[in-house]
């Protein structure tokens, strides 16, 4: 008798779950509203305009670099770094006290 009660309980749970799922899926479906073409067009145009502005800015920046307008600062920094490396190399040579060796050659600047 106890097994019969368990079977009926499980069968009721199974049937109740099946009915709840069927009613949930079979109920009224929520449909998405169709997009408003005016709002979509305005949003796409703003995004397109922003991307074009960014593209123009980057192309101008690349053009400036290719023309050499902004390379002067880079070349000065590179020359400064080469001088610093040369000073470090000569200092290391002086500290080592190597006899008979020649001092390191100075690097040529680009």
- Convert the pLDDT of each residue in 48-92 to its tens digit: 777 888 888 888 888 877 777 666 777 788 889 988 888 887 777
Give me the chain's average pLDDT, please. Answer: 77
* First vs last C-alpha separation in the chain: 99
The predicted pLDDT at position 11 comes to 92
Residue range 89-107: average pLDDT?
Answer: 62
Give me the long-range contacts of 16-24 (CB less than 8 A, separation at least 24): none
Picking from 82, 81, 86, the residue whose alpha carbon sits closest to that of residue 103 is 86
């Amino acid at each position: 008798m106890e097994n019969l009660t368990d079977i009926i309980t499980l069968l009721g749970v199974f049937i109740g779950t099946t009915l709840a799922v069927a009613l949930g899926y079979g109920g009224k479906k929520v449909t998405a509203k169709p997009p408003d073409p005016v709002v979509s067009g305005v949003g796409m145009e703003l995004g397109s305009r922003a991307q074009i502005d960014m593209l123009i800015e980057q192309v101008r920046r690349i053009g400036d670099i290719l023309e050499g307008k902004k390379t002067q600062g880079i070349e000065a920094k590179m020359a400064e770094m080469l001088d610093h490396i040369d000073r470090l190399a000569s200092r290391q040579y002086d500290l080592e006290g190597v006899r008979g060796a020649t001092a390191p050659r100075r690097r040529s600047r680009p």
